A and B are shown apart, each in its own frame.
Chain A
Amino acid sequence: MDLESGKILCKAKSLTTREDLSIGIRGSIVDFDTELLKQVGVVSLSSTLATNSVVEGKGCRVALVCIGSEYDFSVRPDFDTVVEGGHDLHGEEIHPLDEDAARKFLESVKGRVDGVAVTGYLAVRNPDHEKRVKAIAKEILDVPVICGHELSSGLGFNERTATCIMNAKLVPVIDDLIRSVKAVLAEKGIHAPLMIVKGDGSMMGEALAKEKPVETILCGPAASLIGAMYLTGQKDAIVMDMGGTTTDIGILRDGKPRLEPEGAIIGGKRTRVTAAEIATSGIGGDSRILVNGRRIILSALRVVPLCIAASQWPCVKEHMMKLSGVQTRPTPESFGEDNVLLDNEMFRTLKMPKDESMVSDADLKLLTLLQERPYSLNEAGDILGIHPFTFNMHKLEGYGLVQRIGMTPTDLLHAEGTYVNFDAEASKAGVEYLSRRVGVTPEEFITEAKQKIREKLCIELMKELMSEEVGSYNLTPAGEDMLMKAIRHKPGKDFNCMIKVNKPIIGIGAPAGVYIRWVGEVFDTDVYVTEDSDVGNAIGAITSSVSESISFLLRPELAGEEDCEFEVFSKLGNFKYENLQTALSESERIGREAVIASVESSGAEDISVSVDRDDHKYAIGAGESSVLMEIRLTVTAAGKPKQFTSSQ
């Protein structure tokens, strides 16, 4: 990409090769024009590789030293100990640090660990004990050591500790990735600096990434949001990315992704990693549409769309073409959606169970049959001489042994002809069959099903927006009625409701365009659609900036006073100043120095520093006077990555 004109010069994609990362990386670079590669000034990497290793519990051996508190073991270290120590909320020492115990433990794990995590109770208010244990660890062991206060200044001992352990586990993983990327770049004669994208959408240099890999692992959503912003030019917008399984909703405010206020959840564990806040809802282009009794239902289950399956397997197409001859008669509603037997749905075996006793005999016969080619359950039942209700499809799908083929939102678009990329005939046949089961015309079926998708997307969006505004999404019957009136644009007897979303919506994903445009119509706002989310992610990665923040917490010695001593807490340590003015100016000065040094070491230029002051005041009783409780001062340095030029 030409960073000055913003033009994309060349793009390529390749699948991850987990056994040897360099194959996939090379695969994606090989298609580039070699002449262009020589002019590359900076390379940016946005990888979710590390996310998978956290979820799968991989990584290196880690020793954990907790100071002054027990840990809840949400993420397990390989070795751990608790030593005396810890501070109070004012950063005063409650218990002296038991250095001997820490030393003894660290000696005992010598040669058995690849990383050390150190976390102290209330270390965000005074990092002294963590720093001292780190020094001891450095002295005894020759492995990376990370402290809780270096990763987060937020309260929450357990969350900080989990973050710290994940970070320590990830060091070799990210090291490996960076080395693979650099090796491939060197092969291609690219000597440009390498930048790695962080969870908040900004980037950092490789040295810092090796120190704090945990900050890189949720970069995907943030990069996509920044990419969406770049492609559409919208700095304040709601981004809806409709993929196969889910629709992800993120928000851009003033050019920055909205961040998870409590810290991201990784692999089901709450951490203090800053990352873009993305709401995921179970509706995508491949969501299953079924008919239960005479009702059309949209389920969260992901299936293979009929149009795709038909272009892949001739037998599916053949089966679909025969559907018009299948008799339908009114069927009573089934208790479970998964048990509804539909002739337009087919199954194929993904893999056989490791242990055959996991499944029943009938299921095993079915799995063997479905290995050859997809069949509908009625067909399979006829061939095997087993009643189709005998099969436990819900269980087999749960185990990931079979995959369902069926009607999806993508098929609806194919059937009506708005978006045709695969076999529209199969989609039409599916619609025709299902509409007969409902007892309506195919056109009516499409309209009603699309309406359901539109409503679902609108509800999911409002759920997200309202939850943040109100703190919960707990609709009373009146609230629900108003919301549905607004979404359906159907007035009541005496009143009507409208909801206006006050920022544009950016829709990502090819078939999603149609659906997201409706959402914009419903909420009376503009919609911008970008086609390719993957390239959007890469564009986000390269157009973001190198940035680093440090936050200071300033608290008056006497609550409510402004003319008194102030205590200041930060990851650089804690300080006391005689008044508010000095506390502010000194914190800003120290902060500036630290963040500028940090982004410079990451290879940034054109650095600008911004200072954000957030005063927390509270009103007393019913009166109008208010007093100062604390001030949060955030100093942020941001710059563009320094580019490599051949003259350098």
Chain B
Amino acid sequence: MSEEIFEELANAVINCKADLSKAAAQKALDAGVNPVEAINEGLVKGMNVIGDKYAAHQIYLPQVLVAAHAMYAGLDLLLPAIPKEDLADAKKAATCVVEGDVHDIGKNIVKTMLTAGGYIVNDLGKDVPPATIADTVKNEGIDILCMSTLMTPTMDNMKNTIDLLKEQGTRGNCTVTIGGPPTSPSFAEEIGADHRDNNAQDCVNWLKGQ
């Protein structure tokens, strides 16, 4: 029974059908399926297929975004149904595009994958100054910070943000990953980030392995 629902959820995402995703999520709740399982075995599986297809150049970015939209339709129903105690040890993540840059598609996909991965995500949006990011990490006790940028001149703000975390004394409590085309693993190492994500899936997989 639940296998069927999982497949419906996954297919809804793969076929970019928000209404089907919503319906399947409702069906899962009515059938008493564990919402965390429904997310992982259904929605995330579908999203992974989309991710793979995108990586293999089989589909275009807009399709990824519509698929993400479909996933959110299901998530909106399933997330609130997760029992509170299951969320107690969920980690807090923050996502942002650093100051000077407004390209947030990649960041939004990371946010989606993190949410699906069971993290409580605080999305700070785009063009976010280092001080704002650092203050959020400090004040909200963020465990994972994911920063993104598409352009070269704004990469420096990733370093500035990490420098602020060091000055504040919060760097040690927070895992920092970065992403975006101009970044590289060596850049991550140079500025003191923990990981450079190749893509959203890579980000979540790496975090889960930590």
Contacts and interface: CB of A to CB of B under 8 A. Distances in A.
A121 B169 CA distance: 11
A619 B187 contact: yes
Contacts of A88: 131
A473 interface: no
B190 A629 contact: yes
A559 B155 contact: yes
Interface stretch (A8-16, A153-161, A248-256, A387-395): A153-161
Which secondary structure dominates where chain A touches chain B?
loop
Q: How many residues of A sit at the interface, in one of the four size bands?
A: 20 to 34
A619 B184 contact: yes
A620 B152 contact: yes
A157 B169 contact: yes
B32 interface: no
B147 to A, nearest CB: 15
A157 B169 CA distance: 7
A131 to B, nearest CB: 19
A88 B159 CA distance: 14
Nearest to B159: A629
A618 B182 CA distance: 10
A559 B153 contact: yes
Contact of A89 (B130, B155, B183, B187): B130
B85 to A, nearest CB: 31
Which of A155, A158, A159 lies at the interface centre, i.e. has the most chain B CB atoms within 10 A of its CB? Answer: A155
Interface in A154-184: 155-159
B196 to A, nearest CB: 10
B169 A618 contact: no
Nearest to A556: B156
Given A559-B155, A560-B152, A89 B163 contact: yes
A626 to B, nearest CB: 9
Interface string B64-85: 0000000000000000000000
Nearest to B100: A559
Given A89-B160, A559-B156, A620-B152, A72 B184 contact: no
B187 A156 contact: no
Interface in B155-169: 155-156, 159-160, 163-164, 166-169
Nearest to B157: A559
Contacts of A617: 190
Contacts of B191: 618, 629
B141 interface: no
A440 interface: no
Contacts of A627: 152
Contacts of A72: 169
A622 interface: yes
A554 to B, nearest CB: 14
A558 interface: yes
B205 interface: no
A492 interface: no
A618 B167 contact: no
A365 interface: no
Given A618-B155, A629-B159, A155 B166 contact: yes
A122 interface: yes
B153 A618 contact: no
In the A-B complex, list the 3 residue pairs whose CB atoms are closest, starting with the nearest.
Answer: A559-B156, A155-B166, A618-B187
Given A155-B166, A560-B152, 19 more contacts: A69-B168, A72-B169, A88-B131, A89-B160, A155-B163, A156-B169, A157-B167, A157-B169, A159-B169, A559-B153, A559-B154, A560-B155, A616-B190, A617-B190, A618-B187, A619-B186, A620-B184, A629-B156, A629-B159
Interface of B: 130-131, 152-156, 159-160, 163-164, 166-169, 181-184, 186-187, 190-191
